[in-house]
């Protein structure tokens, strides 16, 4: 039990399959890391970042935490941003949430989960800001889905306001910050259309979201 032998066996099978299909894959992978994308997503085990966008190892730099939060006090996330943008030279920062997020639901219901509540206070800030939009929805399922979306939007704006991203834009780096959400029920990603590519676009997106009505599309 301690050895997790089944996972080690699956690793060997995976390695052999990749090497058979592309004999030089691991050699190339070991030589350099040159992703174009940085993904900040939820740690939920049902949302495998590389796999759902059809990318191989080495093609996406990934950071995950509970409820895909970006806050300026999180040195771990900021370090990932700085390394990804300045060292690896990524061009696209994708903030990706997912419908059915347990952390977001706990915030919506006011549930206590323990230590993680200290982290989820960042999502609580989003809930309070958009409480009018959420109250306009008739069911908990709708409010949950909308809060998952609004949390992504808030984290896009948070990321765009970090010194790392602002400095990148001021230096003329080509960098876009995107907000996506993933549907567990069908495996599809949805663009929330809040992409920002400059400091000037941040305020416009924030205003548009503040005035927005909840979308009626399927979630």
Return the active site residues. Answer: 42, 44, 46, 98, 101
DSSP conformational letter for 79: H
DSSP conformational letter for 4: -
Write out the DSSP string of 9-33.
HHHHHHHHHHHHH-TTHHHHHHH--
E-strand spans in 55-175? 60-65, 92-98
Distance CA 184, CA 216 (A): 18
- Return the structure tokens found at 218: 């399927």
The region, left, alpha or beta by phi > 0 then psi within -120 to 50, assigned to residue 177 is beta
DSSP conformational letter for 196: B
Distance CA 173, CA 164 (A): 11
Length of the chain: 219
DSSP conformational letter for 17: H
DSSP conformational letter for 212: P
Closest CA to 166 of 97, 63, 78, 88: 78
């Amino acid at each position: 039990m301690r050895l997790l032998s089944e996972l080690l066996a699956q690793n060997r099978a995976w390695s052999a399959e990749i090497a058979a299909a592309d004999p030089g894959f691991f050699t190339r992978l070991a030589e350099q890391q040159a992703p174009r994308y940085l993904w900040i997503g939820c740690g939920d085990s049902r949302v495998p970042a590389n796999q759902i966008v059809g990318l191989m190892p080495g093609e996406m730099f990934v950071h995950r935490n509970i409820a895909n939060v970006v806050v300026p006090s999180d040195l771990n996330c900021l370090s990932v941003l700085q390394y990804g943008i300045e060292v690896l030279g990524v061009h696209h920062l994708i903030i990706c949430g997912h419908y059915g997020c347990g952390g977001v639901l706990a915030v919506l219901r006011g549930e206590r989960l323990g230590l993680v509540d200290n982290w989820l206070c960042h999502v609580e800030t989003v809930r309070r800001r958009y409480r009018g939009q959420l109250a306009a929805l008739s069911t908990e399922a709708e409010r949950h889905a909308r809060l998952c979306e609004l949390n992504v939007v808030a984290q896009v704006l948070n990321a765009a306001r970090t010194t790392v991203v602002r400095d990148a834009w001021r230096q003329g780096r080509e960098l876009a910050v995107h907000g996506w959400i993933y549907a567990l029920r069908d495996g599809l990603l949805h663009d929330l259309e809040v992409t920002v590519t400059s400091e000037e676009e941040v305020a416009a997106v924030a205003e548009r979201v503040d005035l927005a009505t909840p979308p009626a599309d399927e979630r």
